[in-house]
Structure 1
Amino acid sequence: MANQTMQLDHVFGALSDATRRAIVMRLCAGEASVGELAKPFEMALPSLMKHIRILENSGLVVSEKIGRVRTCALQPEALETIEDWLSGQRKIWERRLDHLENYVEKLKNEEKLSARKPKSR
């Protein structure tokens, strides 16, 4: 559990930056070279490499250097950690909303019953 929490922290931390989210979105379409990933951004290559290293450290991206070209690919397994956590959170909130709905229905029914009773003087 602690390891999963740490993994979540790394993945959410990596995705907290718009540039890194854009890189992940681009890699959803398939592998890309660092040069290709850098095209939409106005930053130096070393700055982009910092973003890629953060994505690699979180487990979201893997890169491989062949000759002078470094190619990056998405590691979808890292997203499963987020998906599992979000699924658990969804279940918790659905239960809470179900309880709230039941409570509201109970209040409505009580209100209807009290409106039907004649008022005593």
Structure 2
Amino acid sequence: MQIPSAIAKFTAQFRGHYAVLSAQKFSSHVVEKCLKYIPETRARIVQELLSITRFETLLQDPFGNYVLQCALDNTKGSLFISLVDAVKAHKNLRTSPYCKRTFSKIQMKK
């Protein structure tokens, strides 16, 4: 991931599809890598995840919840706060098997 033009092409193809990719086994790993290693796309990815109409579905998804945890680990400032607020809005899911780690990650980062 060291060729900027390749990275730009690569991430441009994913625009508008990050939420769908996050909920699939193998493509969720790609989204996680983008969040970790391509800081210039991080805000766009998180904004796209936050804008989906059924955020709670992604929060409860067996693969999507890992993407959200990765986003929590790799964001700062207002983007992090927006993500935390979106997760906390669904505090009734705190005991859901796939949500427990996401909520505990929020508690650890305080």
Q: TM-score range with shorter-chain normalisation?
A: under 0.3
Query: Going by fraction, where is strand more abundant, 1 or 2?
Result: 1
TM-score (norm 1): 0.26
Structure of larger gyration radius: 1
